Structure 1
Amino acid sequence: MAKNALQAQLLKAGLVDSKKAKKISKQTQHAKRIGDSESLETKKALAEAQAQKLEKDQKLNQQKQQALEEKALRANIIQMIKQHQIADTDGDVSYQFVDASKVKKISITQKLYDQIVAGHVVIARLEDGYALLPRPLADRIDTKMEGFMVVSNDTAEDTPEEDDPYAAYVIPDDLMW
């Protein structure tokens, strides 16, 4: 017997015989089964695409979050430098140092000059200029984010290499030119 009304009407009208109706119903069942497997494949592909999109969005959000955290940390460090920089630096002694392969020069007092050479005071980059900071604060800033310290004379002596022919000739780093 025919499964749907259309097949029943075609059989009554004599346009289709029972063999042809069975063949058509088998073809439709087969098409439904294939369609179901195709729909499963499409559902899997869609779920995979959604998972990839979700992963990509998470990575993008993580990168944005890291950028915001870095920006906040940078602003925090700049605020710390501004609050704790040594204020009375103007003097008649000039101190020259290298920043980004350029020689820079600042005028400071003799006391600050001696402290910089001894390693008690550090020169830090502050927006367009430079700031003088006490060594403990500079160390804390350097552990949080590198790149702010320009001149940091360590108190530890540099150990010369064993095969250095000029190891016996010590060059002082506080020469006045």
Structure 2
Amino acid sequence: MVKNALQAQLLKAGLVDNKKAKKLTKQAQHEHRTGQSNEAELKANIEKAQQDKLQKDQNLNQEKQKVLEQKALVASIIQMIKQHRIKEIEGEIAYQFIDNNKIKKIYISQQVYNALVSGSLVIAKDQDSYAYLPKPLADKINQKMEGFILVNNSEKNNETTEEEDPYADYVIPDDLMW
């Protein structure tokens, strides 16, 4: 049981537990009998504990704020993808790409296929499906957060071949059908 108001306040604030309160009570009784007093030390310990708790709470709030900002960013990117996706894509041409180390196959129209191969369209992850987005929007999304754009052929088209490559004179088309 708590003997004085200070211990009650410490328990209420969560700075000490019942075991620590009993220890402090016994220590106070011993000091009272012997005539010693450590009130200044006790107050310093209480102040230190309060400062530690305040610092811990601030760090926890910062982490929560970062998580909330991350969720808001993901939500805004998903909203951008949903608003600007190209809807008329169905066709009979197969296009394969990699998503999470798995090869995915989709059937698209010739116009969408040509745009994907040339790099003017990209494939983005839209929660449980795929979205086809214009290249400038994909660049904006990548600036905000990476991981949403799965296929971006414009990066491959901008690569330069090395001079020592013996097959540099032979152009390999990207639109080969196997």
Counterpart residue number, 1:158? 159
Judged with a 3 Å threshold, the aligned counterparts in structure 2 of structure 1 residues 168 and 47 are, in CA distance, closer, same or farther, namely farther
Alignment match, 1:173: 174
Write the distance in 2 (CA, Å) between the matches of 1:48 and 1:164. Answer: 67
CA distance 1:128–1:63, change in 2 (3 Å): same
TM-score, length of structure 2 as denominator length: 0.73
The aligned amino acid for 1:78 is: I
2:100 aligns to what? Answer: 100
Q: State how far apart, in whole Å, the 2-side matches of 1:54 and 1:170 are.
A: 64
Instruction: State TM-score, norm by structure 1.
Output: 0.73
1:61-72 correspondence to structure 2 within 5 Å: 61-72=61-72
Distance 2:52 2:163 in 1: 56
* Distance (Å, rounded) in 2 between the aligned partners of 1:159 and 1:84: 31
User: What's the % identity of the aligned pairs?
Assistant: 54
Deviation track 1:56-106 (CA, whole Å, cap 9, x = no partner) reads: 111111111111111111111111111110010101111100111110011
Separation (CA, whole Å) in 2 of partners of 1:164 and 1:54:
62
Aligned pairs (5 A) from 1:1-177 = 34-35=36-37, 38-154=38-154, 156-160=157-161, 171-177=172-178
Q: How many pairs were matched up?
A: 145
Give, in whole Å, the separation in 2 of the partners of 1:168 and 1:39: 87
Q: Supply the RMSD in Å over aligned alpha carbons.
A: 2.2
- Partner Cα distance (2:43, 2:164) in 1: 70
Mark the CA change 1:87 to 1:45 in structure 2 (over 3 Å): closer, same or farther: same
Amino acid at match of 2:123: I
Separation in structure 2 between the aligned mates of residue 42 and residue 174 of structure 1, nearest angstrom: 78
**Structure 1 residue 141, shift from structure 2 partner:** 1.1
Match of residue 6 from structure 1: none
Change (3 A) 1:57 1:91: same
For residues 94-120 of structure 1, the C-alpha deviation after alignment (integer angstroms, 9 at most, x for no partner) is 110011111001111111111111110
What letter corresponds to residue 80 of structure 1 in structure 2? Answer: M
| Shift, 1:128, TM fit | 0.7
